[in-house]
């Protein structure tokens, strides 16, 4: 009997909120794992605090606990559920760390829970630097010279021995948090101290730098019979020195001979066998490009971001197979999901090239340090498949959705050679574009190789593309040139730009000459076996393998790479839309390019096209498949932005009309709409230059909310308090091609509210209203949202419902609508209307049990709310209080200001639910990583305009017996109101000063509302960064501070004289 019959109930731990280094890939792997275990008849108990995930849907596990991922709560779950086993290897580093802790604290043995997949020993051997090194020595596998250090002194001693540069890697942190490369003493001091502080075990590994070597990864699976396979190997285009999560990666390796490949394959298999892992494992290696010397960099004894990528790159579902292996199956006892003749004991064979690009959030974090290093900074990634490297690479660039459809960024044109070289050598997120720019200016492959150490193979390929750019330029509108360009992978957008014609024109020429791509199957076996795989990618070649059926089909557009403002929530909605389409009996086709997600799991849809989400690429699929329509409401702004082009080319957009979308997004039309239906919004106007801006500002009066139109997640949105700030803002944004018009709005202080509703064109159903704790001005994605609302009057709620109904009806919304309101004295201001799925869909769906995306999809396909069993109006409020708490990745993004404002900064969210608001908030905060101490100290440093309000916060902390520290001005104010406070010296003064107080961990909270004035190194900024880098909660909004006080008060008894 292969399956383990001794266990019935299995606890699966998810990875919690999305942070940099731990993103949607664990929803994909966790969902697969839960499905796989349920398939085997196990009772699956899931713990994950992230409500935005598919895995936390009830359909994927028997019991879902969206509780904080802490030992305390997990112990409660274990006590209650009494699982027989725990599967910790599919929830990232978070789950693995928790499993280790549960085992060490004896909880697993107390309740008789066995660990599946990896033993504690093997986890520790892979994770603990010292144990890892000694294992590698035992196996005779080379590792770079290194030392485990627990103090700066030890670090210095090591560097004295091996010399600079050295890499610092803090133990047990996510995505290399706190690590970095040191070239000199100063950097060493800085990074080591920071790393020690961030490591939960106060330990860092110092390694002799092997930067510049080829970085190669192997995804390996092993079973209880000691059979082991390599699912995929991957070669980083960026050599060692840039975190693999931030590197451009190709699969399979391109520049390794069979001897090199077999050598590294052998090493990887030897390691997984030595660790006795039953499941998946990732081995990272560094190979000297000039010899057979190699080093083992790192081993992850669990599925990872790379394994999600490898699964999508090969069609081999690593997490699913790993879960089945964990419960006892051997590889050869499992079916291959794509090849009827083969078992899972099969090494995928590729006949295409896969390219992965990281997606960064520096469009949001304009002041962020863009330099790439050993600490991961990307928020998401895309994958592209092509039959040649060039096709795959250029598709990848299109998929990034960064405003360019080619290997070219306009702004780089303005840099001189020196600036380009400097940025290239420092390596930032635009490096590959800089390399291309340098080539355009005549720099040789050899020079570029010296400066970047990117393998000449890749540089030559890029060079070929750059050469062809010139050819294109010399042959405008030439049919043969278009043909060659398409085969190489160039986009219509590129041709259109350089020939100064419209994209439609190029497209028409191509259609006239039948220059359309065909689609090839991803079958995991390079055509060796017949496969019924429904997973396709395009290529300009001969044989089309994607034969359209005669069924009625619907195409759903996904949301592309995960970035701030467009996260995993959209994938959640996309997946539910696909499932709803299938329920109605249509064929559901999905297009997306994000390898981390559930939507690109080929078992979800009837057909998956792994393609860029551009007009050109989407049209190709539509031409072939002829769907009855396209759904753009669930793919975030990426999909919505395609709607106009699609309609122009005669495509049927399902659901809310394009005209209505435009009415909601175009400012003038929107205003007109609101006027018609007698609703108000903050006063405002679109302006096209500074002069106009000043005029409008005078008219409305400061403070003002300013932003460019068509934004994602409040991109480049700010509050300005006076004319100087307004001038600064305009000066800052005017260089962006899409900067104008700039929208200027009156800034209203009030309660912000988020409403999601579903409409069938006639009737509208509102599952619930979410109230934000933070006042208006903080981006809705960064606010703590509470359901049901707790400060709104019945009248206000009724006004919200009425307004929502009116807007939906007037726009004749068919599908989803999201509206943001500000409530001031029961007066309802309409802030924003998004006729599409919002990021609150999964949260609201889960807490109200209303399957919103499913219903909305059905409405788009002609069902009515009534036929679905819902009446018009708002759902009765539940008594359970739920909060959605934003989670940030500030510790990974140096130089990013943590202060909250209209620009969204959070990368993920956590949920907390309980009978009372305070308990729910407690859970939510804990789940988001903020600890709630019952005693301690707080540092106050607030702006003048906030002092009055802060006083109450100070008093309440004092009542709770917290010690108060404050900077000079704040301290004087607090003291003058009779509250005892310790004054700390300002930045730059002798220690102890404000920074050292934080650094030494004297305080548990920092309350800081100092504006930075948009200057990157202001005092307020430095205080906030200091707090973040030392893991101390920094509250930049007094509403958040008060909410936390409520929580502490409700859980603490304060000592009071009678």
Partner 1 sequence: MHNAKLVLEDGTEFLGYAFGSTEKKVGEVIIQTGMTGYQEVLSDPAHANHIVVMSYPLIGNYGLNHDDFESIEPAVRGLVVREKCDLPSNFRSTESMDEYTHANDIPAIEGIDTRKLSRHIRNNGSMKGVIVPTSTTTEEAQTHIASATNGTNAVQETSTVKPYVVPGRGKRIVLIDLGLKHGILRSLTNRNCHVTVVPFNYSVEDIVRLQPDGIIVSNGPGKIRDIESVTTAVKALIHQIPLLGIGLGHLVLASACGARIKDTSSGRYVTGLPVTHEKTKITRFTSMHQSEEIIEESLENLPLEVIERIADDGSIVSVHHTNYKAFSVQYNPESAPGPEETSYVFDHFLSYCSAKHIS
Q: What is the contact surface with partner 1 in residues (CB under 8 A)? A: 225-227, 229, 252-259, 261-262, 265-266, 269, 289-291, 331-332, 341-343, 345-347, 349-353, 387-389, 455-457, 460, 520, 525-530, 541-543, 545
CA distance 455 to 463: 12
**Residue from 355, 358, 167, 102 nearest 253 by CA:** 355
CB 69 within 8 A of CB 48: yes
- Looking at the Cβ atoms of 505 and 545, the one nearer to partner 1 is 545
Instruction: Supply the minimum distance, in Å, between the C-beta of residue 476 and partner 1.
Output: 21
- Looking at the Cβ atoms of 225 and 812, the one nearer to partner 1 is 225
Instruction: Supply the minimum distance, in Å, between the C-beta of residue 461 and partner 1.
Output: 9
CA distance 53 to 598: 9
Q: Which residues contact 692 (CB under 8 A, 6 or more apart)?
A: none
- Looking at the Cβ atoms of 263 and 415, the one nearer to partner 1 is 263
Instruction: Supply the minimum distance, in Å, between the C-beta of residue 89 and partner 1.
Output: 22
- Looking at the Cβ atoms of 456 and 986, the one nearer to partner 1 is 456
> In Å, how far from its chain's centre is CA 702?
35
- Looking at the Cβ atoms of 354 and 613, the one nearer to partner 1 is 354
Instruction: Supply the minimum distance, in Å, between the C-beta of residue 1045 and partner 1.
Output: 60
State the sign of the Cα–Cα–Cα–Cα dihedral 745, 746, 752, 758. negative
Give me the helices (H) in 528-650, please: 568-583, 615-625, 636-648
Q: Which two tokens stand for residue 734?
A: 């005017």
Instruction: Supply the minimum distance, in Å, between the C-beta of residue 277 and partner 1.
Output: 17
- Looking at the Cβ atoms of 524 and 656, the one nearer to partner 1 is 524
CA distance 666 to 200: 49
**Residue from 1025, 992, 993, 991 nearest 1008 by CA:** 1025
Report the interhelical angle of 258-275 vs 129-139 (nearest 10°): 120
Phi, psi of 629 (to 5 degrees): 180, 175
- Looking at the Cβ atoms of 216 and 981, the one nearer to partner 1 is 216
Instruction: Supply the minimum distance, in Å, between the C-beta of residue 217 and partner 1.
Output: 15
- Looking at the Cβ atoms of 223 and 745, the one nearer to partner 1 is 223
Instruction: Supply the minimum distance, in Å, between the C-beta of residue 531 and partner 1.
Output: 10
Instruction: Supply the minimum distance, in Å, between the C-beta of residue 478 and partner 1.
Output: 14
CA distance 350 to 386: 11
- Looking at the Cβ atoms of 235 and 381, the one nearer to partner 1 is 235
CB 566 within 8 A of CB 592: no
- Looking at the Cβ atoms of 190 and 288, the one nearer to partner 1 is 288
Instruction: Supply the minimum distance, in Å, between the C-beta of residue 539 and partner 1.
Output: 9
Q: Which residues contact 922 (CB under 8 A, 6 or more apart)?
A: 912, 914, 932, 1047, 1050, 1051
Instruction: Supply the minimum distance, in Å, between the C-beta of residue 642 and partner 1.
Output: 29
Instruction: Supply the minimum distance, in Å, between the C-beta of residue 263 and partner 1.
Output: 9
Instruction: Supply the minimum distance, in Å, between the C-beta of residue 346 and partner 1.
Output: 6
**Residue from 913, 941, 926, 916 nearest 1012 by CA:** 941
- Looking at the Cβ atoms of 203 and 233, the one nearer to partner 1 is 233
Phi, psi of 128 (to 5 degrees): -80, 125
- Looking at the Cβ atoms of 433 and 519, the one nearer to partner 1 is 519
- DSSP of 376-414: ---SEEEEEEESSHHHHHHHHHHHT-SS-SSS--GGGGG
Determine the 3-state secondary structure of 552 from DSSP.
coil
Phi, psi of 262 (to 5 degrees): -65, -35
Q: What is the 3-state secondary structure (H, E, C) of 903-932?
A: CCCCCEEEEEEECCHHHHHHHHHHHCCCCC
Q: What is the 3-state secondary structure (H, E, C) of 267-316?
A: HHHHHHHHHCCCEEEEEEEEECCCCCCEEEEEEECCCCHHHHHHHHHHCC
Q: Which two tokens stand for residue 616?
A: 């050109």
Instruction: Supply the minimum distance, in Å, between the C-beta of residue 3 and partner 1.
Output: 16
Residue 493 CB burial class (10 angstroms; 0-12, 13-18, ≥19): middle
Instruction: Supply the minimum distance, in Å, between the C-beta of residue 603 and partner 1.
Output: 22
- Looking at the Cβ atoms of 387 and 797, the one nearer to partner 1 is 387
- Looking at the Cβ atoms of 455 and 903, the one nearer to partner 1 is 455
Place of tokens 């005892």: 980
Q: Which two tokens stand for residue 917?
A: 């608001």
Determine the 3-state secondary structure of 463 from DSSP.
helix
Determine the 3-state secondary structure of 939 from DSSP.
strand
């Amino acid at each position: 009997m292969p399956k383990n019959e001794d266990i019935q109930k299995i606890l699966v731990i998810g990875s919690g909120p999305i942070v940099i280094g731990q993103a949607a890939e664990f929803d994909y792997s966790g969902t697969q794992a839960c499905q796989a275990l349920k398939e085997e008849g196990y009772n699956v108990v899931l713990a994950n605090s992230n409500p935005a995930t598919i895995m936390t849907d009830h359909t994927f596990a028997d019991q879902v606990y969206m509780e904080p991922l802490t030992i305390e709560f997990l112990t409660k779950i274990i006590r209650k559920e009494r699982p027989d086993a725990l599967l910790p290897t599919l929830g990232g580093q978070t789950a693995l760390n928790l499993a280790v802790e549960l085992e060490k604290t004896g909880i697993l043995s107390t309740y008789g829970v066995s660990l599946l997949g990896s033993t504690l020993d093997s986890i520790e051997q892979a994770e603990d630097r010292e144990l890892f090194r000694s294992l590698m020595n035992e196996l005779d596998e080379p590792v770079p010279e290194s030392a485990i250090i627990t103090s700066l002194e030890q670090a210095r001693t090591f560097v004295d021995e091996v010399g600079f540069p050295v890499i610092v890697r803090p133990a047990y942190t996510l995505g290399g948090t706190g690590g970095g490369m040191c070239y000199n003493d100063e950097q060493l001091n800085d990074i080591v101290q920071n790393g020690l502080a961030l490591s939960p075990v106060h330990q860092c590994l110092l390694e002799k730098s092997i930067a510049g070597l080829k970085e190669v990864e192997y995804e390996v699976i092993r079973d209880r019979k000691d059979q082991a396979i390599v699912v995929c190997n991957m070669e980083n285009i960026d050599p060692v020195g840039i975190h693999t999560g931030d590197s451009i990666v190709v699969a399979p390796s391109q520049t390794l001979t069979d001897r090199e490949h077999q050598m590294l394959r052998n090493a990887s298999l030897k390691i997984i066998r030595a660790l006795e892992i039953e499941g998946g494992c990732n081995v990272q290696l560094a190979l000297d490009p000039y010899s057979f010397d190699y080093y083992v960099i790192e081993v992850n004894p669990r599925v990872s971001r790379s394994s999600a990528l490898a699964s999508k790159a090969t069609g081999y579902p690593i997490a699913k197979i790993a879960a089945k292996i964990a419960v006892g199956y051997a590889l050869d006892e499992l079916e291959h999901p794509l090849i009827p003749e083969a078992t899972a004991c099969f090494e995928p064979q590729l006949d295409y090239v896969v390219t992965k690009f990281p997606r960064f959030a520096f469009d949001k974090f304009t002041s962020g340090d863009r330099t790439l290093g050993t600490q991961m900074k990307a928020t998401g990634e895309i994958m592209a498949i092509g039959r040649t490297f060039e096709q795959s690479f250029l598709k990848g660039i299109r998929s990034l959705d960064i405003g360019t459809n080619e290997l070219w960024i306009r702004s780089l044109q303005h840099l001189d050679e020196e600036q380009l070289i400097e940025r290239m050598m420092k390596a930032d997120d635009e490096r590959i574009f800089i390399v291309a720019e340098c080539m355009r200016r005549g720099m040789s492959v050899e020079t570029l190789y010296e400066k970047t150490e990117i393998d000449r193979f890749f540089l030559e390929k890029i060079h070929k593309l750059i050469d062809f750019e010139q050819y294109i330029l010399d042959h405008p509108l030439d049919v043969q040139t278009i043909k060659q360009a398409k085969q190489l992978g160039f986009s219509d957008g590129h041709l259109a730009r350089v020939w100064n014609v419209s994209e439609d024109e190029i497209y028409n020429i191509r259609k006239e000459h039948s220059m359309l791509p065909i689609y090839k199957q991803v079958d995991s076996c390079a055509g060796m076996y017949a496969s019924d795989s429904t997973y396709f990618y395009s290529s300009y070649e001969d044989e089309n393998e994607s034969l359209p059926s005669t069924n009625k089909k619907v195409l759903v557009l996904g949301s592309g790479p995960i970035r701030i403002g467009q996260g995993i929530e959209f994938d959640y909605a996309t997946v539910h839309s696909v499932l709803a389409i299938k329920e109605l009996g249509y064929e559901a086709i999905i297009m997306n390019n994000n390898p981390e997600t559930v939507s690109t799991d080929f078992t979800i849809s009837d057909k998956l096209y792994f393609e860029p989400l551009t007009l050109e690429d989407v049209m190709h699929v539509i031409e072939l498949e002829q769907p009855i329509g396209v759904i753009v409401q669930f793919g975030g702004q990426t999909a919505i932005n395609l709607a106009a082009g699609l309609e122009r080319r005669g495509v049927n957009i399902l659901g809310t009309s394009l005209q209505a979308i435009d009415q909601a997004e175009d400012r003038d039309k929107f205003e007109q709409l609101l006027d018609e239906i007698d609703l108000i919004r903050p006063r405002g106007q679109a302006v096209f230059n500074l002069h106009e801006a000043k005029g409008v500002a005078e008219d409305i009066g400061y403070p003002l909310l300013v932003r460019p139109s068509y934004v994602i997640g409040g991109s480049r949105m700010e509050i300005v308090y006076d004319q100087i700030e307004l001038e600064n803002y305009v000066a800052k944004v005017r260089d962006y091609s899409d900067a104008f018009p700039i929208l200027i709005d009156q800034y209203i202080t009030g309660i912000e509210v988020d409403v999601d509703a579903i409409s069938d064109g006639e009737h509208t159903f509102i599952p619930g209203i979410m109230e934000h704790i933070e006042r208006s001005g903080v981006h809705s994605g960064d606010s703590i949202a509470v359901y049901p609302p707790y400060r709104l009057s019945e009248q206000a709620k009724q006004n919200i419902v009425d307004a929502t109904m009116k807007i939906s009806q007037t726009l004749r919304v068919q599908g989803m609508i999201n509206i943001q309101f500000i409530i001031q004295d029961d007066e309802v201001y309409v802030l924003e209307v998004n006729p599409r799925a919002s990021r609150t869909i999964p949260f609201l769906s889960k807490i109200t049990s209303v399957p919103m995306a499913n219903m909305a999809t059905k409405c788009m396909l002609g069902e009515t709310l009534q036929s679905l069993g819902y009446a018009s109006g708002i759902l009765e409020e539940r008594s359970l209080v739920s909060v959605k708490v934003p989670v940030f990745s500030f510790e990974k993004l140096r130089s990013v200001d943590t202060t909250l404002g209209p620009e969204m900064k959070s990368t993920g969210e956590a949920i907390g639910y309980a009978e009372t608001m305070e308990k729910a908030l407690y859970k939510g905060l804990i789940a988001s990583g903020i600890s709630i101490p019952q005693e301690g100290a707080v540092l106050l440093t607030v702006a003048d305009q906030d002092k009055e309000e802060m006083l109450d916060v100070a008093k309440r902390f004092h009542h709770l017996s917290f010690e108060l520290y404050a900077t000079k001005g704040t301290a004087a104010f607090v003291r003058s109101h009779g509250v005892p406070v310790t004054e700390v010296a300002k930045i730059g003064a002798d220690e102890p000063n404000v920074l050292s107080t934080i650094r030494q961990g004297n305080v548990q909270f920092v309350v800081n509302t100092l504006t930075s004035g948009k200057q990157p190194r202001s005092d307020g900024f430095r205080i906030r960064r200091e707090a973040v880098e030392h893991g101390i909660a920094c509250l930049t909004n007094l509403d958040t501070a008060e909410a936390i006080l409520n929580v502490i008060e409700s859980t603490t008894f304060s000592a009071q004289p009678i």
